[in-house]
Structure 1
Amino acid sequence: MKYALMVGVISLFTASISQAQLVGTLNQVVSPVRPIIDRTPSDLAAIREEAKRRVQSSIEDVDSATTLVSGVVNRIPSPQFVVPETATILSSSGQVIVNEVIVEDGFLAVANEWLFIGEEADSVHFQNNNIELQKAQFLPALSQWLFKVKVTGDKEDVSSIRNSLPKKLQSQIGRNHIYLSQNNVTKTGNRPDIEQYSNKSSQKFEVCPTPLRIGMIDTHVMATHPKLSHINLTQASFTVGQHQNASTLATDEEGEKVLKSPQAKGVPISYDHGTAVASLLAASVPESSQVFNASVFYSRNSVSQGATLISLIEGLNYLASQHVDAINMSLAGPDNPILARVIKKLDENGIQIIAAVGNEGPASLPLYPAAYTETLGITAVDKSNAIYRWANQGDYVDFAAFGVSVDAAHPNGKTVRQTGTSMASPRATALYACFLRTEKERNAALIKLQQLAIDAGTPGRDSVFGFGVLP
């Protein structure tokens, strides 16, 4: 029965090449889905609760619930988080752009910087001897004002800052946390788990028959890579220390593609992670699909990228203004009340966030935005559907997808194999966006995604694979 259902669902993608050829030219604009469907918040919580109820019902007669899943034991140590080393990011002229510090629970934040989201009139509360208002901006797609403030006094702890505000506003302020891209860094050495460059790709994904309109939050993307030649890519930079200007892949007078891209203003940036993620999105979408990239990361070192929360929010506001079907976020970090409010607002606006659960291992604390109720959390498996050994586990895992030794684009024009939960989330993002276009309703798209998933591990939804593995 389940096999027949899967065959029926997968049939949506099998005629992709012939149908995509009928769509039109590369320059055709994919209309936002907003006029097509009723954009309402998804009912993810109810879908998860129903899956939990079924699991509980199915194990009532089982004497023991202890299970080994693909070499992973469901008995794991107490949650922990590996504290990253801090970095001071300098411009080419030696100016400090980001001064990273370790804050509560071992996470990173910009020293002495806080964010507040609310109404324009709320700025009056940031005029005192200990707080300096540095930036105020209106986010039209989120209908909110965002303020960046700097603590200048000697009290920089969470309670003292929040207690200085009226009680009704205390839940609207948080640190300017730093979020890390979820490309894999081996736990025995500080090198990415990547393999030999090549010009070929071994994996093949079924492609959605309908052009999609997808957003992504990531590093810069090398848009001239051959793996991206069939999509329309637009990117805008929100990296700290840069001007916010968009780039597009255009065609010159000789018909050759040229990239007009945002230019860094002295801040170190990378193209590796974003180019890989964009290529994996492209592998699941047909010709003429549109991908909007909000570039938010600065390079912390040769293998790690960081994004300030203010950059993330500016990028999310930009993507929401493009009316994308879904947003892929291959990054992870701490819970933050500002990020939580923004994710909730995007959900209310009908935009689904799909995020990598993180590469800190089974004993990690929950990482965000994947752990928010409104977000689809994606983990990684290999070609045999065995779980990636460093993938986070928890009740926020919703789906697994191929993310171990995945063929992904490299900025040098070749292909390189990469591993991590961030390599798995693009597949889930594309599948959800495809179902949204075909079903024209968010909850129906989520249910289709659930039906497509191949159950793995403990029967039903579990903390390792979620609902199952997406093909």
Structure 2
Amino acid sequence: MQVLYGRHHVRVFRFSLRLVRNESIAEDLISEVFLDVWRQAGKFEGRSAVSTWLLAITRFKALSALRKRKDAELDDETAAAIEDTSDNPEVTVAKKDTSNALRNCLTALSPEHREIVDLVYYHEKSVEEVAEIVGIPENTVKTRLFYARKKLAELLKAAGQTADREPTELEALLPFHAAGTLNLRDARRVDEALASDPDLARQYAAIQDEYAETILLNESLGAPSSRAMQKLFAAIDAEPARKSVSFNPLMRAVGFFSSLSPRTLAYAGVAGAVLVLLQAGVIGTVLVKDRAGGNFQTAAFPAQSTAGTFGLIRFAPDAKADDIAQLLNNYNASIVSGPKAGMFRVQFGDKALSKQDAVQLMTRLQAEKIGKRSFIRTKSRMRPLRSIALIAAVVTLAAPQAFAQYSGMSMRTGPSMNVGPRININPTIRYSPNIQYDGYSDPGPRPRVMRNLDQGGPEDISPRKRPGKAKSTPAAIDNTYVAKEVLIEIAGNPTDAQADDIARRHRLTRVQSQSFALTDSTFFRWRIPDGRSVDAVVRELVAGGNVKAAQRNNIFKLQQNATPAAARPEGDPMQYALAKMRLPEAHALSVGADVTIAVIDSGIDVTHPELAGVITGTFDALNNGEGPHPHGTSIAGVIAAHARLMGTAPSSHLLAIRAFGDKKSGAESTSFLILKSLDYALAKNARIINMSFAGPHDPAMERGLAAAAAKGIVLVAAAGNAGAKSPPLYPAADRNVIAVTAIDQSDKLFAQSNRGSYVAISAPGVDILSPAPDGKYQMSSGTSLSAAYVSGVAALMIARNPGISSADVRATLISTARDLGPKGRDDQFGAGQADAFSAVSAVAPAPMAAASDNGDKR
């Protein structure tokens, strides 16, 4: 109990003093709180941190004391209030100097708001922990915190800390940024503003200096006298003797911790590790030492035994994926799970370290830097305020063998970690520095191998294992690009002799080449006949300087699942998208007449009754004569169906461009095939290109899309079906493309949809009835269908006014969208659901064509 009291009594005293505002009563509360802890220690289950448990008890005792005194009415109704009823801030801080005014800012808040601010900014409790302590919902905590911030900004203004005007949102966030408690998004906004606004930076510097004591250290509250401790232990001595409960396996764990000297405990931070283990669910309760004996009580959960030393690490926000990968490589470490509460669980090596080695390891990690900034963020309440932006945590966990030896408990291993542009956990992929985006989708089974290639023949998009890779390399990594092949771009139209010279010098075999007007260059597919890796050859070609660019021939996948279905009449509920997007109303203004839409997809059934008369051109980039495919036929139907179904733009013209092969394992395409398709769409004067596929970032395709956008083509793509944790997928994430996500009939996001800042808009994409090959119908879901709906709406807008620019099409789609989710744009729904009628209505008819808008033929 001495240990527990020594660690937490100042925190308990200051929290109770904030509530009761009476030092004597606060000291009395200390003894009551720790006496309750003594009595209830056996009931503590480790579901929250020890400090959270203590502060919850403290709050209950303080409220009881306030009710008894009747000096401050803080009943349940008042405690639940949100609006701040404290005195006018001008009255509160009148005639105070700056230092005292700042110090009084917190005490000037109402009790409800002061309590929340104190727990969040001084005691560093999360919203969840504050809700547990105060006994209110998490949303109420957030609301009170919002009003507390607002009131604090007013107090600062009244104290002369701001000009005689309403503080901006960023100015109101400065104190909380100084305390290191803003969320990552707001913290980045403040950092960017501080870098560009000298006046704001000066305000921030003053707040840092003046709030160091008030908010973070809070030294003005002092510490309790020894009377509280004397009273506590006198009460404990008077308590009846308690019969100890013995748990043999647990006592062995106790023996392990008891064997550590106090100096080792202090130096290695094992006390902090114990608290982390409590939160991780590894140790089930707090270690409480009996006054007379040396006994501890603890509860442990059994786990699987494994070798290695583990740590919990939180990386600095500005740490890049490559930096993290290098750090892990330097320490022979791997991330096995997380993040949980912002921390990753990391395994160091395959063998357990001794206590001394673990201490040295932690010390070395704390010293890691990115340039002059800390790589691993440390967490200490006494840290300098000016380094708060670098805060994080690293805790070394005891070796699994040690737990196994004393308590039968050991750490569990988890999935490996795949470090990409964003940190995502993938249970099947370990980090590979050469993978740009290796977790973008589930590639499924490998496609069957096509026949050997001749120049100009169909492309083999079957990936093969790369030579020289370890057996542990998963197959999923190979499926992101064509193995043993490199894609090269040379400016203009090089002669055969020039191409052969490059191939000879780099030991490559030419497979196929084609000149593209889109990029004013020639692309070559070259085979790597020896055991060199694709990335090694790419680096060699770029270094040689004889090519414009070199890269992998990346693989892309369609974004839809389909099942057979029967056709339904236009008014059937299965076609819910019609009413949701207000398409019948939009068709009264435009039906997309004479607008050409290029559909880069798998094969389309051009004989389907729903598509009769709308296919004005076909192109087979694969050049192997395969037939129609469900995906391509479905996408074409969503855009232009006009028989038993109603398409979005039923009078539009479609270019059926087949770039994806018909494979049982899933239709796939490559960078080269998509470039051929884009070039064909440009040559045929397409106004819109629909791209219902997704894959990794591709520099060659990026240049092609930029060239198409410069020609005024509207580019629309599926956001992707890889889920919430997927990195951005392309072409949707390209800045020239409108990325579309999927929603269902109830406006709920399609569960497999990608999220991210690149998502522009949403459209129906769940359980969509659409055509299928051989005159049949199917029920389909995916962001592919959503993209097709938006392409159709764009066609309606262009048909109404052919002079509208691609930028105006995008802006109008977004400005007329029906907002979904949080107010305004968000990473799930983008600007909201596309509204065809609103979008078309917002487009002014072309001057000479206005009279014929209603006469579009279907």
TM-score for the superposition, normalised by structure 2: 0.40
Report deviation, 1:270. 4.4
One of 456, 467, 470 as aligned partner of 2:831? 467
Residue 811 of structure 2, aligned match among 447, 460, 463: 447
Deviation, structure 1 residue 106: 5.6
| Deviant stretches of 4+, over 6 Å | 57-66
Partner secondary structure for residue 462 of structure 2: strand
Write out per-residue CA displacement over residues 183-206 of structure 1, whole angstroms, 9 at most, x where no aligned residue.
Answer: 13xxxxxxx4x3533354532334
1:116 counterpart (488, 512, 521): 488
> Residues 303-360 of structure 1, C-alpha deviation per residue, up to 9 Å, x if partnerless?
x111122211111111110111110011111112211221122122222221101111
Describe the shift of the 1:291–1:170 C-alpha distance in structure 2 as closer, same or farther (beyond 3 A). Answer: same
How far apart, CA to CA, are the structure 1 residues paired with 2:448 and 2:754?
A: 28
**Aligned mates of 1:429, 1:232 — CA distance in 2:** 16
Summarize the Cα distance change of 1:114–1:77 in structure 2 as closer, same or farther, 3 Å threshold: closer
Moved more, 402-411 or 164-173: 164-173
Instruction: Give 1:293's aligned residue.
Output: 656
- Counterpart of 1:196 (choices 537, 552, 565) is 565
Cα shift at 1:454: 0.8
What corresponds to 1:337 in structure 2? Answer: 699
**SS class of match (1:164):** helix
Q: Which of 422, 431, 437 pairs up with 2:784?
A: 422
3-state SS of paired residue (2:464):
strand
**TM-score normalised by length of structure 1:** 0.71
Equivalent in 553, 565, 577 of residue 176 of structure 1: 553
Aligned counterpart in structure 2 of residue 431 of structure 1, from 777, 790, 793? 793
Output the CA distance in 1 between the equivalents of 2:170 and 2:820.
16
Structure 1 unmatched runs, 5+: 1-56, 67-74, 185-191, 243-262
Deviation at 1:165, TM superposition (A): 3.3
Partner of 1:100: 463
Contact 1:88 1:100 in 2 (8 A): no
Deviation, 1:453, is 0.7
Task: Decide which of 258, 264, 272 is 2:630's aligned counterpart.
Answer: 272
Structure 2 partner of 1:379:
741
| CA–CA separation in structure 2 for the residues paired with 1:355 and 1:102 | 30
CA–CA distance in 2 between the matches of 1:100 and 1:238? 19
Q: Tell me the distance in 2 between the aligned counterparts of 1:426 and 1:224.
A: 20
1:301 aligned partner, one-letter code:
K
- 2:732 aligned with 1:366: no
Instruction: Verify the 8 A CA contact 1:171 1:337 in the aligned structure 2.
Output: no
- Rounded to whole Å, the distance in 2 between the matches of 1:404 and 1:223 is 24
**CA distance in 1 between partners of 2:776 and 2:170 (Å):** 48
The alpha carbon displacement at 1:393 in A equals: 0.8
1:230 Cα deviation after fit: 5.1
Q: Output the CA distance in 2 between the equivalents of 1:100 and 1:218.
A: 20
Find the residue that maps to 1:292 and give its secondary structure.
strand
Give the whole-Å Cα distance in 2 for the aligned partners of 1:233 and 1:380. Answer: 28
Alpha-carbon offset, residue 60 of structure 1? 9.3
RMSD after superposition: 3.1
Instruction: Determine whether 1:78 maps to 2:424.
Output: yes
Q: Which has the higher strand share?
A: 1
Label 1:232 to 1:161 Cα distance change in 2 as closer, same or farther (>3 A). Answer: closer
Contiguous gaps of at least 5 residues in structure 2: 1-167, 177-181, 185-341, 343-421, 427-438, 453-457, 467-475, 641-646, 836-858
SS of residue matched to 2:424: coil
Q: Does 1:130 align with 2:507?
A: yes
For 1:128, give the aligned amino acid: R
- Which residue of 2 is the match for residue 223 of structure 1? 606
Please state how far the C-alpha of 1:452 moved relative to its aligned partner.
Answer: 1.8
Counterparts of residues 14-413 of structure 1 (less than 5 Å): 78=424, 81=439, 82-84=441-443, 85-90=445-450, 97-101=460-464, 107-119=479-491, 120-121=493-494, 123=499, 124-128=501-505, 130-166=507-543, 172-184=549-561, 192=562, 194=563, 196-201=565-570, 202=572, 203=575, 204=578, 205=583, 206-207=586-587, 208-211=590-593, 212-229=595-612, 231-239=614-622, 242=624, 263-264=625-626, 270-282=628-640, 283-287=647-651, 289-301=652-664, 304-413=666-775
CA distance in 2, matches of 1:307, 1:341: 18
Change (3 A) 1:270 1:290: closer
Provide the rounded CA distance (Å) in 2 between the counterparts of 1:164 and 1:141. 23
- CA positional deviation for 1:222: 0.8
- Higher fraction of helix: 2
RCO comparison, higher one (Cα < 8 Å, 6+): 1
8 Å CA contact retained: 2:628, 2:773: no
The answer to whether the Cα contact below 8 Å between 2:506 and 2:541 also exists between their aligned partners in 1 is no
Give the deviation of 1:213 after TM superposition.
1.2
For residues 342 and 379 of structure 1, the distance between their equivalents in structure 2, rounded to whole angstroms, comes to 23
Q: Paired residue for 2:150?
A: none
Do the aligned residues in 2 keep the contact of 1:360 with 1:391 (CA within 8 Å)?
yes
Change (3 A) 1:174 1:65: same
Partner residue in 2 for 1:47: none
Secondary structure of the 1:299 match is: coil
Note if contact 2:629-2:662 (Cα within 8 Å) is conserved in structure 1: no
Offset at residue 234 of structure 1 (A): 2.0
Partners in 2 of 1:459 and 1:451 — Cα distance? 13
